[in-house]
């Protein structure tokens, strides 16, 4: 069982539009309401793969109630930590070329008692989990070292931990030695405080994070593929995407794919690449099912093309 912890979940509404023009009345060809947040997306992808998953979420108000209902309908078990404030709502505007404009709110502040209950609920669930993920931004009221405390509780329960968070929060958690951290190129550049222009730069940055406490690092590089470095080696994976409809949630699908396949080694990276490639070809934050995957198109190598220049340099 894979347990996800999302301290700042959201109710996400996505509008598909022909183009984004400021100051104009825009007509949406389609709109969707979905439960959101990095950890929520991971749980949805895990459930879509037919693997048992539980999402631990602080939820409040009508948006929180709807998130729990939507996740339940998708096969995700939900552990609700009731909070006094209303769960946030976000809006995404998706264009045909895959460009997505997001409007995210900060989210409700959690009280000390709500924060503690969230940690206790995650620790209790970790006792029956193989992996526990801590994903996304921290809402007001939670200290930067909150994820470090989560990692400690997960380890005490006998499970492995994976983190996906912004650079300052992630760096604050590295001393707790999470088993895995996942970053995109922008987050990775921020975490090491320098630009990343080539795959070689990415490899050096990933190794630096491992030296600071990360057991393994998954770097998602957008159109340039993914890189995994763990105790078994360093691997690079790519797969073609026929069309990109939305890249929102692709990194979350990658993390889900990695964990579903055990969380380490080339087989796990191949699963991560297959899930992310399928996700970008789906609308909004839809998560891929096994029927959407094309594992035969994934290429994994240990012969790293270090001089490869990134399509989207970061930093």
Active site residue 252: yes
DSSP assignments along the chain, one per residue: -EEEE-SS-EEEEEEEES---TTSPPPEEEEEEEEESHHHHHHHHHHHTT--EEEEEEE-HHHHHHHHHHHHHTT-EEEEEE-SSPPEEEEEEE-TTS-EEEE----PPPPHHHHHHHHHHHHHHHTT-SEEEEESPPPTT--TTHHHHHHHHHHHTT-EEEEE--HHHHHHHHTT--SEEEEEHHHHHHHHTS-EEEHHHHHHHHHHHHHTT-S-EEEE-GGG-EEEEETTEEEEEE---S--S--TTHHHHHHHHHHHTTSSHHHHHHHHHHHHHHHHTSSTTPPPPGGG--GGG-EEESS--TTPEEEEEE-
CA 231/CA 210 separation, integer angstroms = 10
By the 10 Å C-beta count (0-12 exposed, 13-18 middle, 19+ buried), 131 is classed as: buried
Please give the order of strands across the beta sheet that includes 233-238: 77-82, 53-59, 2-5, 131-135, 160-164, 180-184, 217-220, 226-230, 233-238, 299-301
Catalytic-labelled residue, pool 224, 252, 292, 303: 252
Catalytic residues: 252
């Amino acid at each position: 069982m894979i347990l996800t912890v999302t301290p700042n979940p959201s109710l996400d509404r996505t509008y598909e539009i022909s183009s984004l023009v400021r100051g104009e009345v825009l007509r949406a060809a389609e709109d969707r309401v979905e439960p959101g947040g990095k950890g929520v997306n991971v749980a949805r992808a895990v459930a879509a793969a037919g693997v048992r998953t539980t999402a631990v979420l602080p939820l409040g108000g009508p948006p929180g109630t709807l998130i729990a209902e939507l996740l339940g309908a998708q096969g995700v078990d939900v552990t609700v930590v009731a909070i006094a404030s209303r769960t946030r709502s976000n809006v995404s505007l998706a264009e045909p070329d895959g460009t997505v404009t997001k409007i995210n709110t900060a989210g409700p502040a959690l009280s000390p008692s709500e924060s503690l209950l969230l940690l206790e609920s995650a620790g209790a669930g970790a006792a029956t989990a193989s992996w526990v993920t801590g994903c996304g931004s921290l809402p007001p009221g939670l200290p930067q070292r909150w994820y470090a405390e989560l990692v400690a509780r997960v380890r005490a329960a006998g499970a492995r931990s994976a983190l996906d968070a912004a650079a300052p929060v992630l760096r604050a958690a590295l001393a707790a030695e999470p088993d895995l951290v996942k970053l995109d190129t922008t987050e990775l550049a921020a975490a090491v405080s320098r630009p990343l222009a080539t795959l070689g730069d990415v490899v050096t940055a990933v190794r630096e994070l491992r030296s600071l406490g990360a057991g393994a690092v998954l770097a998602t590089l957008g159109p340039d593929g993914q890189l995994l470095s763990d105790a078994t080696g360093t691997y690079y994976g790519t797969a073609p995407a026929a069309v990109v409809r939305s890249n929102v949630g692709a990194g979350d699908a990658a993390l889900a794919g990695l964990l579903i396949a055990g969380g380490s080694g080339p087989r796990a990276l191949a699963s991560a690449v297959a899930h992310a490639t399928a996700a970008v070809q789906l609308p909004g934050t839809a998560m891929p099912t096994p029927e959407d995957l094309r594992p035969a198109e994934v290429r994994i190598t240990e012969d790293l093309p270090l001089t490869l220049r990134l399509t989207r340099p970061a930093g």
